[in-house]
Structure 1
Amino acid sequence: MKLDPHHLEMLFAIVDRGGLGEGAEMLGKSQPSVSRSLALLEKRIGIALFEKDRRPLRPTELGLALAAEGRKIHEAGRSSAALLAQYRDGKTGAVRVGGTPFFMDGVISGMLAGFQFARPDVRIDQIYGYLNDLLPRLEDGSLDLAILPMRASIIPEGFDFDQILPGRNVIACRTGHPLARRGSVKLSDIGQYPWIAPPADSPLYQDLRTVLKEIGIRDFKVSFTGGSLSATVNILTGSDALTVLPFSVVFMMRAQRSVGALSIRIGDPDRHLGILTRNDADLKPAAQRVRNHIRQEFDALSSSIIRVSQDMVWRP
């Protein structure tokens, strides 16, 4: 015989609170409705659940056993409601975030760590990729957010792009590099040094070629190519090689005092970092929280970068 879970929960409330009125108050119902439900339950099973003519109510052995099952139903309802509230508030769930490797490793991952410190029950799945890799995953719903540099002119139809940082590249080197110790550095001075090239399919690689073309270098020596940010930094700090990096990445490594930027202004890319999402899909609450967190972190980062940049002497 299958019993109505609501009736079992009602029986638990009566037993737990010691009376019909008290049980009704616990469930937010009227006493007459609870009394009718109890009568229906006893009629269905054909057995009394409370001892007859006893005040206060005293449950029978079966009444206690069924009330114990009702407790499980009541607690499951409460825990389910709590889980739902946490999900709606963005405190639980999984968020799938994609982005270009150097930005994800150099800037975004630290911000995500701060988010998870505050919301440890949100799982973040991170993947690497460029626009051609990430766009199909946004389209099919297997990715929630993509954080990458883009030109305003190529934002796909049906997508929103929330710019979070203007494009800005610098020539990076180790802090003890010979050029970093000079009082004055000219663009012509850097041609003799080898270069670390980002992955060939990355927008940053095109930026490197553009910078070298501006300097007037046609044939340049590449000492290392295609590595991750950590590999690039290891080569950079252990040699006199130079590379082109986003200023924000170099800025985030300033506390390590191992990598710096030459005070030479180079042309800024016509791409800006932003968050790409589908405009026809509602973000899950946790994904909305992550997007807002990244937005706030970049607001603070932009202000810090502007202050530092203003203190630097950028030579043409």
Structure 2
Amino acid sequence: MPLNIDQLATFAAIVKAGSLGRAAIALNMTQPALSRAMKRLEHQLGVELFERHSKGIQLTEIGKAFLPYATSLQAEANQALEEIRALRGAAKGTVRVGAVASIASSILPQAIGNTLQASPGLRFDVVEGVWDLLAAGLAKHEIDIALGAETADTDEIVAIRDCCWTDTSRVVAAVGHPLARRPRLTLADTLEERWTIPPQGTGPHQHLERIFAGQGLGLPDIVVRTRSITVLKSLVVGSGFLSWMAEPMFEPERRAGLIAPLAIPGIDGGRTLMAFRRRRGSLPLPSHKFLDALRKLTSVQDRRAQPGL
């Protein structure tokens, strides 16, 4: 007998709740009925998915291996139902997209607007965050598309290679920072300043490492590492910190006369940005519509950025 959506939903609810009692409440079922449902699933699969003990339940090794497949199957089934409802006119569909801060403050709003012009019935669930959190959300089916800096494909996530564009990152400081007034500034001049950037393993941190290594320098004095864009900007504006930001990310503060890029020659802060999806499974139709709008928008912007155009 094949698996059904209810079985997958029940399994996922038990994993999330960590106990049959809490899962039964979430599913509006009695605990005995839920226990019987899980026993039927385990009998059908011929394996035990959970270990029962006095303090609750936990996944067996087989259960851990089954979890990503069950999550993917459940998401695919829900996606199919949503698209059928959309085709019948009962629903219009939702684009679930995540983006790093520089994209969320620039390209993403324009792409959403252009998508809604062509498909006004769509809805958007948008997540902003650093790349490692977006990648995890993509793998867990919390979002369907992630927008970030170019990176290697993994077993779970792959780049959509025909949907890419570029931007530039700069060393930034408050407008009144002493380095902003220094002539013939070099990257070495920033080494003793206080810095704030996202933590190790994130795209901005790795980008900054490459920039300093390219000039034969170690990393500067990074005093504060944070994933919060608000904290980064506040430390730059209010506490004299330096930071490394993509231009779209600090453009509002530059227009307001609060943050300015430092004029440091010889730094190539360019990077390639891309859209990413899960390796397995199909992409929902609403996401395809969003990608079409994003491709058109970024191709026009990249042509404008080329010399002579």
TM bin, normalised by shorter chain, reads 0.5 to 0.7
Task: Specify every segment of 5 or more residues in structure 2 that has no aligned partner in the other structure, as ranges.
Answer: 1-83
Q: What does residue range 212-251 of structure 1 map to in structure 2 within 5 Å? A: 212-215=212-215, 217-218=217-218, 220-251=220-251
Separation in 2, partners of 1:107, 1:116: 15
Equivalent position of 2:34 in the other structure: none
Query: Whose radius of gyration is greater, 1 or 2?
Result: 1
Q: 1:84 to 1:246 in 2, by over 3 A?
A: same
Q: 1:136 to 1:172 in 2, by over 3 A?
A: closer
Shift of 1:172: 1.6
Equivalent position of 2:181 in the other structure: 181
Structure having the larger proportion of residues in strand? 2
Separation in 1, partners of 2:211, 2:237: 21
Equivalent position of 1:208 in the other structure: 208
Q: Secondary structure in 1 aligned to 2:148?
A: strand
Q: Which whole-Å deviations, capped at 9, do the CAs of 1:13-70 have from their partners, x for residues lacking one?
A: xxxxxxxxxxxxxxxxxxxxxxxxxxxxxxxxxxxxxxxxxxxxxxxxxxxxxxxxxx
Contact 1:172–1:243 (CA<8 Å) still a contact in 2? yes
Q: 1:112 to 1:279 in 2, by over 3 A?
A: same
Shift of 1:147: 0.8
* Alignment of 1:111 onto 2:142: no
Shift of 1:205: 1.4
Q: Secondary structure in 1 aligned to 2:191?
A: helix
Q: What does residue range 31-50 of structure 1 map to in structure 2 within 5 Å? A: none
TM-score (ref. length: structure 2): 0.56
Q: Which whole-Å deviations, capped at 9, do the CAs of 1:130-166 have from their partners, x for residues lacking one?
A: 5554456545644321111123x54658834234223
Shift of 1:274: 0.3
Task: Specify every segment of 5 or more residues in structure 1 that has no aligned partner in the other structure, as ranges.
Answer: 1-80, 311-316
Q: 1:167 to 1:85 in 2, by over 3 A?
A: same
Equivalent position of 2:190 in the other structure: 190
* Alignment of 1:161 onto 2:160: yes
Equivalent position of 2:93 in the other structure: 93
Q: Which whole-Å deviations, capped at 9, do the CAs of 1:102-133 have from their partners, x for residues lacking one?
A: 23443345335534764664221123455554
RMSD (Å), alpha carbons: 3.8
Separation in 1, partners of 2:137, 2:126: 13
Equivalent position of 1:41 in the other structure: none
Contact 1:196–1:222 (CA<8 Å) still a contact in 2? yes
Contact 1:170–1:244 (CA<8 Å) still a contact in 2? yes
Size of the alignment, in residue pairs? 222
TM-score (ref. length: structure 1): 0.55
Q: Secondary structure in 2 aligned to 1:179?
A: helix
Contact 1:155–1:161 (CA<8 Å) still a contact in 2? no
Separation in 1, partners of 2:110, 2:166: 18
Equivalent position of 2:302 in the other structure: 302
* Alignment of 1:126 onto 2:126: yes
Equivalent position of 2:283 in the other structure: 283
